Amino acid sequence: MLFQFGSYSSLLLISFTQGMIYSALLLRKAIQTENKSNYWLSLFIFLCSLFIAPWMLGFAGWYDNQPYRDFMFYMPFQQLFFIGPLIYFYTQSLLNPSFRLTQNNFLHLLPGILYLVYSVVIWVYDQLILQDYYFYADGMDKDFEEWYQKLGLLSMIIYFFLSIRYYNVYKKLMFQVVSYADSVLFKWIRNYLIAFLVMLLLPILFEIIGYFYPEIKSYQGSWWFYLFFSIVMYYIAITGYSNPTNATIPFKVSLFDKNPILLLDSNTSNEVESVIDIAHETFEETNSPEISLWKSKIESLIQEEKLYQNPELTLTDLAKKLETNASVISKTINQGFQMNFNDCINNYRIEAVKNSFSNGEHKKSTLLGIAYDCGFNSKATFNRAFKKNTGKTPKEYLLNI
C-alpha cells in the first residue's frame, strides 16, 4: 500500500492512529461498564480521526496516484454534520442517566445522514452510471467545498451552545435537588467543552491569520491547522477515557422552556410527579400559610433527625420522609428559606460546625473531621460553604472565639 513517509504525513499518522486506538478503547470501556456516554465519545474521537485523514493521506501521496485518488474523492472522511450532535449527546449522557436516543434526538443526525446520501449519489453516478468524472470534473474533493465547511462549522457552534445551555440547566437543577451539588458539577465537562471551543476557534483563527499571511491557506500551510486540531482531539481522548463522571439523578428538561424540569425516579423508568422550577434567580419570601406550615415541618425534621449529617441527602429523601412530593419541598425551601436546597442544607451543616467549635471539638479533632461529621463530603465544599455563611474561613472564625 502506498504511503510516502515524511514529516507532514508521519506526524498526522501518529495522531490518526492514536485517535483510532482511543476510539476503540472507549468503545470497549462502554461495553464493559455499560456507560452510554463512552459510546458517544468513542464516535466523536473516531470522526475527529477521520477528519485528519485527508491531509495525512494527501501528504502520503494518495491524491497524486490512482486508485487512491478516487478513494479520496468518494470517501466522505469529514462528517461535519455529525460532530456537533455527538458532542451534544455526549453532554446529555454524561449528566443525565435517563438520556436515550429518541426519535426527536435522532432528527439531530438527519443533516449528517443526508450528506452521506449525497456522497453515495455522487459515487453511484460517476463510478457506476457515467463511469467518468462529472461531479469531480474540477478535481476538487467535495469535503472541502466552502458551503459544506461553513455550514459544518455553524452546526458545531450551534451544538456547542446547546451543550453549554444543557450544562447550565443541569447545574441549576443540582443545586435545587441535592445537598452535594459541588461534587457533581464535574470539572471534566467544563474542560472538554473548552477543548471543543478551541476546535471551533481554530478554523476562525487560521482564517484571520490567512488575511495577513496568505501562505497559511496553502496545502502545506493548512497542515498546521490539522496538527493543532489533532492535539486537541488527543487531549479529549486521553482525559475522556480516564474520566470517572457518573451522574445519578435522572431528569427530563426542555432547553427552550424556562419553567419546569420533571425529575424521574432513579429506581424505575416511570415518571414521578416531581416538577422542579429552576427559574428562580431570586427567592422571594411569601407569607402563604401553606409555605409557613411546610417550612416548620422541614425545620423540625432536619433538626430532630439531624438529616444534614447525611452527605448524600437529596430533595427526594426529604420529601419521602414528609410524605409529600419534591415539588412541594422545593417550592417551600425556595420561598420559605429564600435559598436553594443545597445552600439550605449546607447552612444547617455550618451551624452544626459552629456548635462543635463552641464546644471545643476543634481541640480534639481536625477541622476536616468536624466537617465530615456534620455532613460535608469534601474540604473544598466545606470551605466554600463556611465562607459563604460567615464571611470568614474556618481558621479566621476560630481566631475570634
pLDDT number for residue 282: 46
pLDDT number for residue 211: 87
Domain boundary at 184, 218, 245, which?
Answer: 245
Residue 315 within a domain: yes
- The whole-model pTM stands at 0.89
Q: What is the pLDDT of residues 68-102, one digit of tens each?
A: 999 999 999 999 999 999 999 999 999 998 898 98
Q: Are residues 219 and 294 in the same domain?
A: no
Residue 232 within a domain: yes
Please tell me the chain's helix, strand, coil percentages from 3-state DSSP, rounded to the nearest 5.
70, 5, 25
pLDDT number for residue 400: 81
pLDDT number for residue 287: 67
pLDDT number for residue 94: 92
Distance CA 377, CA 15 (A): 40
pLDDT number for residue 132: 86
pLDDT number for residue 285: 58
Residue 333 within a domain: yes
User: Which residue segment(s) compose the domain that 66 sits in?
Assistant: 7-245
Query: Judging by beta carbons within 10 Å of its beta carbon (0-12, 13-18, 19+), is residue 256 exposed, middle or buried?
Result: exposed
Alpha-helical (H) ranges within 213-314 are: 223-242, 289-305
Q: Are residues 293 and 160 in the same domain?
A: no
pLDDT number for residue 267: 53
Q: Are residues 289 and 157 in the same domain?
A: no
310: alpha, beta or left, given left = phi > 0 and alpha = psi -120 to 50? beta
Residue 174 within a domain: yes
Sequence-distant (6+) residues with CB within 8 A of 267 are: none
137 CB-side CA count, 13 A:
6
Residues of the chain with pLDDT under 70: 256-260, 265-274, 277-287
Q: Are residues 304 and 386 in the same domain?
A: yes
Overall number of domains in the chain: 2
Q: What is the pLDDT of residues 171-216, one digit of tens each?
A: 888 999 999 988 888 888 889 999 999 999 999 999 899 888 888 8
Identify the CATH number of the domain in which residue 17 sits: 1.20.1070
- DSSP for 42-56 reads HHHHHHHHHHHHHHH
Distance CA 353, CA 357 (A): 6
Grid cell digits, residue 133: 468524472
pLDDT number for residue 270: 47
Q: Are residues 126 and 178 in the same domain?
A: yes
pLDDT number for residue 281: 45
Neighbours of 284 (CB within 10 A): 8
Q: Are residues 11 and 123 in the same domain?
A: yes
Q: What is the pLDDT of residues 210-248, one digit of tens each?
A: 888 888 888 888 899 999 999 999 999 999 998 877 778
Q: Are residues 53 and 190 in the same domain?
A: yes
Identity at 122, one-letter amino acid code: I
pLDDT number for residue 284: 60
CB 352 within 8 Å of CB 308: yes
Task: State residue 51 phi and psi, 5-degree precision.
Answer: -60, -35
Distance CA 191, CA 196 (A): 9
